[in-house]
Every structure is written in structure tokens, then in C-alpha cells.
Amino acid sequence: MKVLVIGGGGREHALVWKISQSPWVKKIYCAPGNGGISDLAENVDIPVQDISRLLDFASSQKIDLTVVGPELPLTLGIVDTFEKKGLKIFGPCQSAARLEGSKIFAKKMMKKYGIPTAPYEVFCEFEAAQNYLKKVQYPLVIKADGLASGKGVLVAENFEEAHSFTQEVMVKKIFGNAGHEVLIEKCLVGREMSFLVFSDGKTFAPLPEARDHKRVFDHDEGPNTGGMGAFSPVPEADSRLKEKIMREVFDPLLTGMAKEGVSYQGVLYAGLMLTRQGPQVLEFNVRFGDPETEVILPRLKGDLLPILLACTEGKLSPIKVEISDEVALGVVMVSGGYPGTYQNGYEIQGLNGLAKEKNVFVFHAGTQKMDGRYLTSGGRVLCISALGKNFSEARSNAYRAAEKIQFEKMHYRKDIGLTQLKMKN
Ligand code: AMP
Ligand code: GLY
């Protein structure tokens, strides 16, 4: 089979790595890919949002399955376009992708189908939002409705913060039309968890849960990023909690989507807050998470390809998604300055030494390969994932490997999984 993976981050490297282990796969392409991906797949220089060129490529190369990494092409309708041409593609159609593309749509679905989430109000006028913000209690959470590259959410501590964020979003339109409407919702307290399921439109099957670390510095300090590390499993997620999430979140949502005439095919990701009142949904993503995928896929036993294919064919129910008992932990190495400004083009040293390390997986994100050398080319550069029989082993494998990597102005968090190490071993 010929497979095309769309995207070029650590998530897509992990997908390409896992798919490349399938005996059914002859050739993998990745658009646009990155330096590390080019060792396993042929990079194709087409941006993820250029759907007509991606379609031409997939048709002319007779691609048997396309797997979509990021949300943008999904919300632009890549799945509808490919399916119309009879091409198999893993991911939800455009109307299902609204679960991520519009936070208001997601909230309406949750309200209609009784899914636990924070109470909220919607505003399309700045003045009305200000009047509301003057009379409410803080902290509270403000969200731009549409896609904003992970920057559209503020946990506001006071009116001044809330005022200036809503002004940026609604008046200055820093996210364009994505900020045409905003949601203002109650601030929930608890620990976060990412829970993903495969869905074929009729049935669904859970993947291993994970925890992301969004802040740039240790002890959750500094600004939010695209993710500085992750681990899986999440110790407090026992089987009772996971069953509750399936029963209270995924079952009603996917059944509700079907009732609305929208069949959800692909992977569905719920960002959850584990509160004292139970799990509550913060957001839905219509794709694999990043960096969650870099710790989820190393725990997935067996061949990923038949699962992806089964989702596209509505044949997931007989398939068993098997998960290893091992712990996976990933440390994201970033360019100094990220998530603000940073420089690219620094050579990454120490990668060769890790190639033979058992239980260590180096997933590239912002890298490019030139003359056999890997250079930095983005904010998040690498995710070093490692497996271990417990948190302590997974952590030490990941950090031992991270210490061997070097590039100028490199930064990574030293505390991924540290609390869990004390909780469970
Ligand atoms: P979202 O993109 O909706 O997941 O929001 C990004 C981040 O904002 C989440 O990962 C949480 O850390 C935080 N967040 C979002 N909604 C809430 C909420 N209702 N209460 C507390 N934190 C939240
Ligand atoms: N890790 C958060 C996301 O993928 O959106």
C-alpha cells in the first residue's frame, strides 16, 4: 500500500514511524514532512492547506490511504474532497470537524447531549461582552470561537486582563474571523487529561490516555506553548474513570453527531479537566494531539494501519486496539525564545548516538535535513519519547537521551512526569 501522511510535526513523525512498521506498507509520503520524517518517508513539498494540490498528488500517485495530522485541512474539508474522488482518507468530514473549528458548535452539542462541560455565555458584540465581564467573578475563561493556533484561550485573573484580551480578539481581530464571536466560561479546577478514541462513525475504541504539559517552564510557569512534554498512562485515570468518560462524553457525543446526520470518522480527542465533580470537557480536537501522539503510539501494540483503514471503512468493531502496560514519557526540546521569537538553522548534535537506543524514540518536529545534517527549523524541534516499565524508568530513559542532544539555545523542561513519579511507581 501507498500511504500519504499530511503534516510536518512530531505527531506526523510518530504516525509515519508507526505506519512504517506495517507489513502492508510499501511506500509512505509525507506533505510537507520534516528532517526526521525524510528518513522513513518521501517528503512532498505541498502545504497542508493546499487541498487541490494534495488531491492531485494523491490521485496521480494512486495513494491507498491518506492520514491527516493537523486540524486546518480537516476544517477546510479535505476529507469531503478526497472522498468525492473515491480516495480513502482518515479523518472527519468538514461538518464533523466543526467540533474543533467552532468552540461554540462544540458547546452547543455538549449542551444538547448532556455532556459535562463548564457553563458559558456567547458574545458577538464587544460592548455586551464588557458589560458581562464587569459583573462576573474571576478567574474566568475567554475563548475565541474559531481556530487560533492554540492561542485563542485566556484564563483571565481579573477584569483588566479579560478586557484587553477581548479587545484584541473582537475589536483588533488578531485572529481574524476566528474571533468574531467569543465564549466566556466558568474556570474549572483540576488536573487535565487528553483522552482520544478511534471512531468509524458507528463504533469507537479508546486509545491510551495522556497528559500534556503546555507551559514553557518547569512547574507550569511561563506562557502556554504547543506542548512541552507528555506522558501516558495518567495514573489517576483508573478503569472506572475511563468508562465514565466513554459513557458520559464519547457515547452521547458520537451518537448525537450521528443523530444530526454527521458520521464521525477518524480520531476524536477530548481535552478534559478532572474536577471534584467528575470529568468535564474543555475542548474537542478532531485529530491526534501533539505531543500526546508521541507517547500514545509507542504504547499501541500491533499494526496501526488496519485500525486506520477500518475507521475509513466503518469496520472498527471487530478490531481490538491493544495497549501495552508500559509507561511512555516524552520531553519536547525547543528553540530558545519559543513560544516567542527564536532563530532557526542551528545544527542538532547527538542524534546518531540515540539511533540504536532501545525504548527511545526521537520524533522530529521543527527540523530539516541538509547534506546529512539535521538543522533546527521551528519552535518545537524534537520530542524525545521513551518507554519504561514504570514512571521512573520511562523518565530516566527519556532524560538520559535528552541529555545527549545539543543545539544552540536549546531548552526543555526538566520536570515532565516528576509529580507522577512520586505518586505511582
Ligand atoms: P482549549 O483550547 O479550550 O483546550 O483551552 C486551552 C487551555 O486553556 C486548556 O488546556 C486549559 O488549560 C485552559 N482552559 C480551557 N478551558 C478552561 C476552563 N473552563 N477552566 C479552566 N481552564 C481552562
Ligand atoms: N496537545 C494539545 C493539542 O494537540 O491540541
65-79: per-residue pLDDT in tens?
A: 999 999 999 999 999
For the segment 111-116, the average pLDDT, to the nearest whole number, is 98
329-354: per-residue pLDDT in tens?
A: 999 999 999 999 999 999 999 999 89
Class of domain 125-180: alpha beta
**pLDDT(375) > 50:** yes
40 and 14 Cβ atoms separated by less than 8 Å:
no
Using CA positions, which residue lies closest to atom 12 of ligand 1?
A: 192
Q: Which atom of ligand 2 is nearest to the CA of 271?
A: 2
Q: How many Cβ atoms sit within 10 Å of the Cβ of residue 141?
A: 18
305-332: per-residue pLDDT in tens?
A: 999 999 999 999 999 999 999 999 999 9
CATH 3.90.600.10 for the 327-424 domain, yes or no:
yes
CA–centroid distance, 211 to ligand 2, in Å, is 10
pTM of the model: 0.97
CATH 3.40.50.20 for the 2-91 domain, yes or no:
yes
Question: Residue for cell digits 499494526?
Answer: 303
How high does pLDDT run on average in the chain?
96
Residue 142 has a pLDDT of 97
Going from N- to C-terminal start, the domains of the chain cover 2-91, 125-180, 191-313, 327-424
3-state secondary structure 23-76: CCCCEEEEEECCCCHHHCCEECCCCCCCHHHHHHHHHHCCCCEEEECCHHHHHC
Using CA positions, which residue lies closest to atom 19 of ligand 1?
A: 187
248-280: per-residue pLDDT in tens?
A: 999 999 999 999 999 999 999 999 999 999 999
For the segment 81-90, the average pLDDT, to the nearest whole number, is 98
CA–centroid distance, 106 to ligand 2, in Å, is 16
Query: Which residues, listed in sequence order, are joined to residue 3 by a DSSP beta bridge?
Result: 28, 65
Q: How does residue 425 score in pLDDT terms, banded at 50, 70 and 90?
A: very low
Q: From 175, 213, 225, 283, give the residue whose CB has the most ligand 1 atoms within 8 Å, as the site to mutate.
A: 283
Residue 211 has a pLDDT of 97
Residue 356 has a pLDDT of 85
The architecture in CATH of the region 191-313 reads 2-Layer Sandwich (3.30)
Question: Residue for cell digits 468525492?
Answer: 84
Ligand 2 neighbours, Cβ below 6 Å, are 212, 227, 285, 289-290, 292
Residue 385 has a pLDDT of 98
CA–centroid distance, 353 to ligand 1, in Å, is 38
- Calculate the alpha carbon distances from 92 to 55, 73, 148, 181, 269 in Å: 16, 10, 19, 24, 12
137-160: per-residue pLDDT in tens?
A: 999 999 999 999 888 999 999 999
- H or E element, residue 351: helix 351-354
377 and 370 Cβ atoms separated by less than 8 Å:
no
Residue 159 has a pLDDT of 97
